[in-house]
Amino acid sequence: MLSQIHHVYPEKIREGRAVNFCKNQIKFKTKHLNETRRELEVMIGHMQRLLMVDKEDFDLPVAFATNLLYVLAKNGLAHTEQSQKVIREICVPLINKKQEWLHSEGVSMAVYGLTEAGVYEEKTWQLLQAKVRDKDMDYRIVKNDYWDPTQFTTMNGDEHLAEKPFDEFGKTLFFEDRINLYELYEAIDRAKEKCPELPGLAETKVFLEERYTEILENQDKYQALTSFEKPKIEPQLIDSQEDLFKALKEKADEQE
């Protein structure tokens, strides 16, 4: 998504060494994006193997559920049969059980992921909507003080000095984590359309619009960045533990 800023808002890109470097590297962008896609295919395949391990003896954190939901949704895999099983049997129960440990980003990821997956379990959505009202999505990014790890200071702008090609919207989107709010708002709006019988969605949307009016004025810019067609991720998935053990044995044989 970062690279899309150069294509969607070229008139807002400042001139300078960083910009010239980016312009000189444009011809390599497709190559790098394809490499990232291939890496995702491999790693998502590994993730699937991890999910096949018996987890009864593991007390997974709620962040496992929210990050997993987000990864599946972002890569267009939330609707696969196995993903649906994982979401309903692992992610949703974890969110329900450990809701008190959800932070703002986790709430956004969960709402976004469940919307993409089309999973509208009422209990989970009610607690997530309550968290939306409870959490502050207009938070400040801080860093540790140089000499005291228990003290924090706010960013002064020098931290991203090399990223001058980005306009103010790009900076707030990525460096101030505004992307979480934009994705949350978009997901609530889409869930309201897809599952109108789910209670509270219209009210939650109005709440976000009233509380974050100024920030959400840039929602159209965010949507412009996400409107392009994403490359299809096709991980080499394994359907059963028997296939998993077979694949692992073949890999071990290759290494020998």
pLDDT single digits (tens) 157-210 = 666 666 665 677 777 777 777 889 999 999 999 999 999 999 999 999 999 999
* Residue 74 and residue 44 in contact, taking contact as beta carbons nearer than 8 Å: no
pLDDT exceeds 70 at position 6? no
Q: What share of the chain is helix, strand, coil (3-state, %, to 5)?
A: 70, 0, 30
Is 63 in a helix, a strand, or coil? helix
pLDDT single digits (tens) 68-86 = 999 889 888 888 888 898 8
pLDDT grade for 120, boundaries at 50, 70 and 90: very high
pLDDT single digits (tens) 195-249 = 999 999 999 999 999 999 999 998 988 888 777 666 566 665 555 556 655 655 6
Q: How far apart are CA 17 and CA 28, in angstroms?
A: 18
Q: How far apart are CA 206 and CA 46, in angstroms?
A: 40
pTM of the model: 0.73
